[in-house]
Amino acid sequence: MKSTILQALARRRPERLPVWFMRQAGRSLPEYRELRAGTSMLDSCLNPEMAAEITMQPVRRHDVDAAIFFSDIMIPLRLAGVGVEIQPGVGPVLDDPIRTRDDVAKLPAPDFADASMITRAIELIRAELPDHKALLGFAGAPFTLAAYMVEGRPSKDHLRARALMHSDPLVWDQLMTWAATVSNLFLKVQVAAGADAVQLFDSWAGSVSRETYAKHVLPYSKLTLEGVTGPRIHFGTNTAPFLDLMAQVGVDAIGVDYRTPLDEAAKMVPGVTLQGNIDPAMLFAGQAALHEHALDVVRRGTSAPAHIVNLGHGVPKDTDPGVLTELVAFIHSLTPGQLDAEHEGDN
């Protein structure tokens, strides 16, 4: 049986609604916390056996339709030789933030000396993952990587990064090209090792305007996906003003956060498969409210050629895993035919 997610990415509605969750690998799972105890985030990503086991944990527990490769958007930076760590309670922190032309010039070549640990981890996953479940690879989009590289750590407004793109477009071009190149290489390594599809995360793209996105961000996201074979998903948060532009980077599906109803998103990107957009807050609202919300989301998703059910953001770390398991079972119990009929009745 072909993966329902791959069917949806081919813009065909499968018999059963496909579902997976961003940040499903870890965070809320006690078995993840136990396994990772005493190991840093990036070190755990670069341990093939640990990365494979963490990738498979939510597949076994929740029966989701895809495994998302356990890694981090900072891994390509680490593999290229950039000093970066994920500090608990903080996030990515770089040894040397990029602020000037000299800083960009000092960056190592956008290449990996050794990516065998990525290949080995994916080989281990493929050996266990059932054929009807997809393996998704991913990478961070260049704007999100550049925002971390310029700020040096997480930021709420990315002021330095946004200022740099306007004050010194040449330096911005060099930095974004570097980030696009390492993410492109990271995606290609994952696909070559056996990933069925990939997702490009642009977590911070929503901090820029439509005009700025078109000029200073979109060309580099296109560059990131050049030569990457197989289905591709593009996701960002707060990106409703330019969802249509995000679809132009060369993708098969657009991830929609929880702020934009899917029937509205379908009008912005006609003919494109949608992914999302269950509000993570509803995971804490009780089963009745969660089911009502999820049903509304998937009804609206019938406006698109196909819909991959997901959250509109990542799984919160204090989520009850049982809620996710039950939500997957609920989604799987729904049929596209039922939803089409109910959706028509709402109009």
- Side by side, the strands of the sheet bearing 66-68 are 66-68, 134-140, 197-202, 232-236, 253-256, 273-278, 307-311
Answer yes or no: are the C-beta atoms of 189 and 115 closer than 8 Å.
yes
The DSSP-derived string for 306-345 is -EEEEESSPPPTT--HHHHHHHHHHHHH--HHHHHHHHHH
Per the listing, tokens 């960002």 go with 236
Q: Cα–Cα distances in Å, from 119 out to 3, 123, 186, 230, 317?
A: 22, 6, 11, 17, 28
DSSP helix/strand/coil, 114: coil
Cα torsion angle, 60, 65, 69, 72, sign:
negative
Residue 82: φ, ψ to 5°: -85, 135
> Do 205 and 165 meet the contact criterion of CB atoms below 8 Å apart?
no
Tokens representing 330 are: 């609920």
Neighbours of 31 (CB within 10 A): 15
Whether residue 277 has a cis bond before it, omega within 30° of 0: yes
276: left (phi over 0), alpha (psi -120 to 50) or beta: left
Please report, as a single letter, which amino acid is at residue 49.
E
Our measurement of the distance from residue 4's CA atom to the centroid of its chain's CA atoms, rounded to an integer in Å, reads 18
For the annotated catalytic residues, the residue numbers are 23, 27, 36, 72, 148
Give the Cα separation of 297 and 182 in Å (integer).
35
